[in-house]
Structure 1
Amino acid sequence: MTFQAIGLMSGTSLDGLDICFAKFEKQNSWDFEIITAETIPYPKVLEDQLRNSIYLSPEELLELNSEYGFYLGKAVKSFIEKHHLKQIDLIASHGHTVFHQPQKKFTLQIGDGRAIKLETGLPVLYDFRSQDVLLNGNGAPLVPIGDELLFSQYDACLNLGGFSNISLKINNKRIAFDIAPVNIVLNRLAQEFNRGFDENGDLARAGNINEPLLFQLNSLEFYQKSHPKSLGIEWCNENIFPLFGNIEATHILATFTEHVAQQISNVFNEYNLNNVLCTGGGTFNQYLIEKIRNKTSTEVIIPAKDLIEYKEALIFAFMGILRLNNEINVLSSATGSSKDHSSGIFA
């Protein structure tokens, strides 16, 4: 069986729309190939609308849901024409998260899949999270199904994005949890130097570790909790940023990078991991990667650039193919839902 699909991903950083066109083939197990992928930066007006979508009235939110759906459809149509793509089985769209309150049984990712279908004329799958929430799950993380079926040769998969999270197998069950904040803190500190991010970790490398701050960071209650557990910007605002006080930003960068490396290596060592696949934007932070490697015997494997940048979009395309075949694409062991299931709505 061979399938070709497009995955769409919009993350909390709002740096743009990730589009990934990939081929999937199943014999005894699944194989994949990223054929082409790119990130389309959002127009400033749309970026601001998405960033402030949580404050919109119901009417305004419904309008943006349609508007953003048509934007996604036009972006995919241009992507298909630009790369002369043929034989596309489906488009799988994550959408942009506005509300996520699984404890109240709802989550909302906007970007109407029907609008994408109208623009492209292709089958579309969207709204991958709601069903899991209705099944008493967290609606996240969803990526572990891809880790399980596409990347099982690694002991674990680590994502270094706004937050670091890991997916690994224990007692034949795939679990996943957040480890620590990463770019959500480092990028904000880099902005004090008029930079969008700390390229290669050079700013942090120039600083000195503040031991009292490092002790406070490592002592936070979250790190003593067992999985499942997750982090959000609200937690950082309450627990991380107030600790920085008047410390010079370079030294905070150095200290926080050390903190992240310690927390990640602690997890590697706790689970005796032989090797870990590392993806996400933080993988380009050479200083952080060096520090992690120095604190553990676990082999940190850094793949090709397209996999570092587009693994999430790739896995949503894969989730769409699984849904097309009525195969499980959400793991209850990762989300906490009452059962494994096949999620996603056909447009």
Structure 2
Amino acid sequence: MIKNQTFSIGVMSGTSLDGVDLVYVSFNQNNYTDFKIIHAETIKYSKEWKQLLQNAIDFSEEELARLDIDYGRYLGETVRQFIENDKIKTIDFIASHGHTILHQPEKGITLQIGAGREITKITHQKVVCDFRTQDVQLGGQGAPLVPIGDALLFSEYDFCLNLGGFSNISYDKEGTRIAYDICPVNIVLNFYVNKLGFEFDDAGEISSKGNINQKLLGQLNAIPFYQKSPPKSLGLEWVQKEIFPLIDALEADIPSILRTFVEHVAIQIGKVMYQHDAVLITGGGAFNSFLMQRIQWYAKNSIEKPAKELIDFKEALLFAFLGLLKINNQINCLKSVTGARENHSSGVIFYP
């Protein structure tokens, strides 16, 4: 084993509920940009788990406490299986994002389930988790968390854009890292395409055939969140309150809902990265070629997609990196990004 090399597993579950992303990655402790994804896999959720996670926003405190433990056990078993299947021998720690159920930072609330203690019990490994709570306690948004990784691992890009359940962006402005959620993406597109019996709109095939509802598009673009200055972040609760009722009141045809929402997303993202070419785009939305075309049309730039592995697993990779920074007691949460009172090293460590 190379001296000063650390080996970890990053675990990520996003709001679009595609599944659990797992990466086994090595980092050079002397030069963090020297990293390598050794194994990576997405474990799809069963119908039961998907339903549970979708409905958990309405659970009681007792039900959420039970789900936290059950989901921690599920993650523990999933990681144990990953270790076994890939015959992984050396692990310094596991870093788990968990799954976000509640996110209302303005009320001091954020909840990512997936009890780290349960993951430790099952895998017999050190586990770093619960990366958001401390930031919210310090007056921050608790999101987005990956910008420190963008800054330290991908500094050659002007912008790092993630197209997942939500789109979020990270960039350097006069030596300060700025990052925030731009708008919902797959959390809305997948919700409506599911009604047609599909998991997602493959390459934007369905949305490309719909018609733009100009009234709906205008009202979506007028939502006050888009006028707010960062730091700012979004959650499922916001989508349920602001987006779904608006769509359902103005449009019933699903291809037209998808077409209109793709245009909305493209307009919001295009405004942010207008005429910048050095853009790293990751997340499931990067495979939606119709959405990508519309973003490029509004952004007036040319965007190159990175390798599929990075598109799929960048967030899991960056949570492994956040875990490494926490273990090394280095800053992994930036006040310029979240609005917290100070930069800090966030996360909770469980030992076997």
TM-score normalized with structure 2 length: 0.90
Partner of 2:119: 116
Q: 1:258 to 1:304 in 2, by over 3 A?
A: same
Q: Deviations over 1:67-95 (max 9, x none)?
A: 22222222111101100112211001112
Greater displacement, 32-41 / 207-216: 207-216
Q: Quick one: percent identity of the two aligned structures?
A: 53
Which structure 2 residues correspond to residues 13-24 of structure 1 after superposition, within 5 A? 13-24=16-27
- 3-state SS of paired residue (1:36): strand
Partner of 1:264: 269
Q: 1:3 to 1:256 in 2, by over 3 A?
A: same
- 2:116 matched to 1:103? no
Q: 1:341 to 1:184 in 2, by over 3 A?
A: same
Does the 8 Å CA contact 1:275/1:298 hold for their aligned counterparts? no
Task: Find the aligned partners of 1:74 and 1:233 in 2 and give their Cα distance.
Answer: 27
Q: 1:235 to 1:20 in 2, by over 3 A?
A: same
From 269, 288, 291, the equivalent of 1:288 is 291
- 2:347 matched to 1:344? yes
- 3-state SS of paired residue (1:240): helix
- 2:215 matched to 1:249? no
- 2:307 matched to 1:301? no
Q: Deviations over 1:117-147 (max 9, x none)?
A: 1211211111111111221111111111111
What is the one-letter code of the residue matched to 1:258? E
Give 1:220 shift: 2.8
Q: Deviations over 1:223-274 (max 9, x none)?
A: 22222222333433444332452453323322221221122111112xx533
Q: Deviations over 1:28-66 (max 9, x none)?
A: 552221111111123343433333334444444333322
Q: Deviations over 1:288-340 (max 9, x none)?
A: 11122223343323111121111111111011111111111111111111111
TM-score normalized with structure 1 length: 0.91
Task: Find the aligned partners of 2:28 and 2:9 in 1 and give their Cα distance.
Answer: 15
Partner of 1:74: 77
From 31, 36, 61, the equivalent of 2:34 is 31
Does the 8 Å CA contact 2:216/2:251 hold for their aligned counterparts? no
Q: 1:118 to 1:168 in 2, by over 3 A?
A: same
Task: Find the aligned partners of 1:54 and 1:235 in 2 and give their Cα distance.
Answer: 12
What is the one-letter code of the residue matched to 2:262? T
**Which runs of 5 or more residues in structure 1 are unaligned?**
none
Greater displacement, 151-160 / 202-211: 202-211
From 185, 197, 200, the equivalent of 2:203 is 200
Runs of 4+ in 1 over 6 A off after TM superposition: none
- 2:323 matched to 1:320? yes
- 2:159 matched to 1:156? yes
- 2:93 matched to 1:86? no
Which structure 2 residues correspond to residues 123-272 of structure 1 after superposition, within 5 A? 123-241=126-244, 242-243=246-247, 245-246=250-251, 248-269=253-274
Task: Find the aligned partners of 2:104 and 2:253 in 1 and give their Cα distance.
Answer: 36
Does the 8 Å CA contact 1:4/1:90 hold for their aligned counterparts? yes
Partner of 2:56: 53
Figure out how many residues of one structure are paired with residues of the other and give that number.
345
